[in-house]
Structure 1
Amino acid sequence: MSYRRIRRACHGRAPAVRVSLALAIVVALGCGPVSHVEPPPPKPVPKVLVIGVDGVRTDRVLTTGATYLRALMSEGLYATGQLDLAPGVKSLSGPAWSTILTGVNPEKHGVRDNTFAGRQYTRYPDFLTRLERLRPDLDTLAVTLWRTFFDTGLLHQVDWHATLRPGVDYAEHLKDEMIIRRMTDLISRHRVDVVFLHLVNPDKVAHKHGPLGPEYVTALDTMDLGIGRLVDAVRRRPTYRNEKWSVIVVTDHGHRDEGGHGGLSPEELQIFLLAAGPGIRHERRHEAKLVDVAPTVFAQLGMRIPADFEGVPLGGELPGK
């Protein structure tokens, strides 16, 4: 039966006799134009930006403007706390960043100071390496000014990584600016899924001038501006409307009033975690733990939490261990 005869039936011009299969089809389907069914919108793709800020003393952060940090706090979870160090573990960057990136404490990853002696990264790899092994389709990026992260294997399997070239004398205040500029360009223009960025200037300034003076305030304000630029780069992505981003900001230790760390004073042990993204409630906590960063990344990506992680996600649903 031709389309023409069916169309005539729809307009009431079909013969009165010989009610045919065509008319039965018309009655069943209805007359009139065929409606266009819109396909369902694509499911937003989860992505995570982790910003590590070295040597930021928690009690000094909110004495500055902290415009962009405060904005993230208003959207998500802000937790303060103190390092809980086992005997023999120092309040240094080596143990702290190992804990942040591996999701396990020094008793497992083996790093107790900045020599990185005893490291167990083969057994407890960083979360980027774990993601690459579980989901090779993910695009992972890592940038740090501390080459030791790569030289020791703390950051091992990453799609794209960068650090400063050895032997080049960069002006101290320009180091963070260089990697922020590079990362904002990469985030704005390229496909990325999980990003880790490590900023060091607050720690450098605190070592030189202490955390109580105007130099440290300037360093914190500059860090805050850099965080704002990174978040803005995320929101300027052409594909942003089809993505759901989570942002995590974490520091590794504090500083004594005169500058320096490694001991057990309350000022040296200060840490904070900030997380904003889908499923993370707006709240304030006082039990920040560095092991919570890695499981939060997995949870925000909707991935099963590795069984050997020692932390828990900062809000959101727990995909399972």
Structure 2
Amino acid sequence: MRAASSHNHVLVIAVDGVRYDSLQAANTPNIDQVAANGFLVPVRVDARNPTISGPVWATVASGVYCNRHAIFGNDVAPNKLEHYPDFISRLRSAHPDLETMAAAMWGPLLTDVDGGPIFASGGYHPDMGSDVDEDDMDIAQVMDEAVIGHAAGRLLGENPAVSFVYLEGPDAVAHALGVGDRYMQAIERSDQQVGVLRAAIAARRNREAELWTVIV
């Protein structure tokens, strides 16, 4: 969605499957810098939400728990998101002149896969073909890189007031191998990808005149 200029910007970076203790142990200079500029705290998943992607990311998007948005699994339909719209939809409704951006490799967030999209306006989802297993950790890494490339280009060259970028890597590795060395490497790779997005923001033409809030 293209539009009028805004000096206030919000970037939400969703890194799936990261344990707080593992994040503390990993080498994550970019996330550390975000925390140093603001704060870092553990977040407990509310007991009303199953700790799986559909309900939790719907809560992040809508601000309400599954007892309201009615998503209880990774098949996200039927739901009540029309009553509790995602934050991008709320901005687009209130300020249709502002630009927004969303990019994610997990289909239900932005496409009609498994009853989606959770974000009603959709966004960029890498097209790897219908026979690709998005849960495969190697495929997830490739798709995350595509997401980052798209998002960084948009952040550098366009003017999104609110952006949502989702990374799957650590979650895919944890499902496949548990929380060992490869998992820690996946967290650190995601941190590097956070760095790519931060660098894109820093390189914006009018960066000094803008106020950016980055949430990871």
TM-score by length of 2: 0.88
Match of 2:170 in 1: 202
Q: Which amino acid aligns with 2:153?
A: D
Residue 53 of structure 1 contacts residue 198 of structure 1 at CA under 8 Å; is this kept in 2? yes
- Specify the SS of the correspondent of 2:42: strand
The question of 1:139 aligning with 2:99 is answered yes
TM-score by length of 1: 0.60
State the 1:168 CA deviation: 6.0
- Residue deviations 1:18-45 (CA, integer Å, cap 9, x gap): xxxxxxxxxxxxxxxxxxxxxxxxxx81
Q: Which of 176, 180, 193 is residue 144 of structure 2 equivalent to?
A: 176
- Specify the SS of the correspondent of 1:203: helix
- Specify the SS of the correspondent of 2:40: strand
- Residue deviations 1:2-21 (CA, integer Å, cap 9, x gap): xxxxxxxxxxxxxxxxxxxx
State the 1:175 CA deviation: 1.3
Q: Which of 27, 34, 40 is residue 78 of structure 1 equivalent to?
A: 40
Match of 2:89 in 1: 129
Match of 2:185 in 1: 218
- Unmatched tracts of structure 1, length 5 or more: 1-43, 250-321
Q: Which amino acid aligns with 1:78?
A: L
Aligned partners of 2:117, 2:145: CA distance in 1, in Å?
25
The question of 1:243 aligning with 2:210 is answered yes
- Specify the SS of the correspondent of 1:245: strand
Residue 132 of structure 1 contacts residue 157 of structure 1 at CA under 8 Å; is this kept in 2? no
State the 1:228 CA deviation: 0.9
Residue 10 of structure 2 contacts residue 163 of structure 2 at CA under 8 Å; is this kept in 1? yes
Which structure has greater helix proportion?
Answer: 2
Residue 121 of structure 1 contacts residue 153 of structure 1 at CA under 8 Å; is this kept in 2? no
Aligned partners of 1:137, 1:147: CA distance in 2, in Å?
27
Aligned partners of 1:186, 1:114: CA distance in 2, in Å?
28
Aligned partners of 1:81, 1:129: CA distance in 2, in Å?
25
RMSD of aligned C-alpha atoms? Answer: 1.8
- Residue deviations 1:20-71 (CA, integer Å, cap 9, x gap): xxxxxxxxxxxxxxxxxxxxxxxx8110110001111111012111111111
Q: Which amino acid aligns with 1:156?
A: A
Match of 2:26 in 1: 64
Aligned partners of 1:192, 1:98: CA distance in 2, in Å?
21
- Specify the SS of the correspondent of 2:13: strand
Match of 1:113 in 2: 73
Aligned partners of 2:191, 2:77: CA distance in 1, in Å?
33
- Unmatched tracts of structure 2, length 5 or more: 1-5
- Specify the SS of the correspondent of 1:69: helix
Aligned partners of 1:81, 1:147: CA distance in 2, in Å?
25
Residue 103 of structure 2 contacts residue 150 of structure 2 at CA under 8 Å; is this kept in 1? no
Q: Which of 127, 130, 147 is residue 167 of structure 1 equivalent to?
A: 130
Match of 2:197 in 1: 230
The question of 1:91 aligning with 2:48 is answered no
Match of 1:52 in 2: 14
State the 1:215 CA deviation: 0.4
Match of 1:7 in 2: none
State the 1:164 CA deviation: 2.2
- Residue deviations 1:107-148 (CA, integer Å, cap 9, x gap): 111111112244101111101011001000110010111121
Aligned partners of 2:39, 2:31: CA distance in 1, in Å?
11
Query: Percent identity, aligned pairs only?
Result: 30
- Specify the SS of the correspondent of 2:130: coil
Aligned partners of 1:175, 1:154: CA distance in 2, in Å?
19
Residue 147 of structure 1 contacts residue 164 of structure 1 at CA under 8 Å; is this kept in 2? no
State the 1:238 CA deviation: 0.3
What is the correspondence of 1:288-299 to structure 2 with a 5 Å cutoff? none
Aligned partners of 2:104, 2:144: CA distance in 1, in Å?
9
What is the correspondence of 1:252-267 to structure 2 with a 5 Å cutoff? none
Residue 55 of structure 2 contacts residue 71 of structure 2 at CA under 8 Å; is this kept in 1? yes
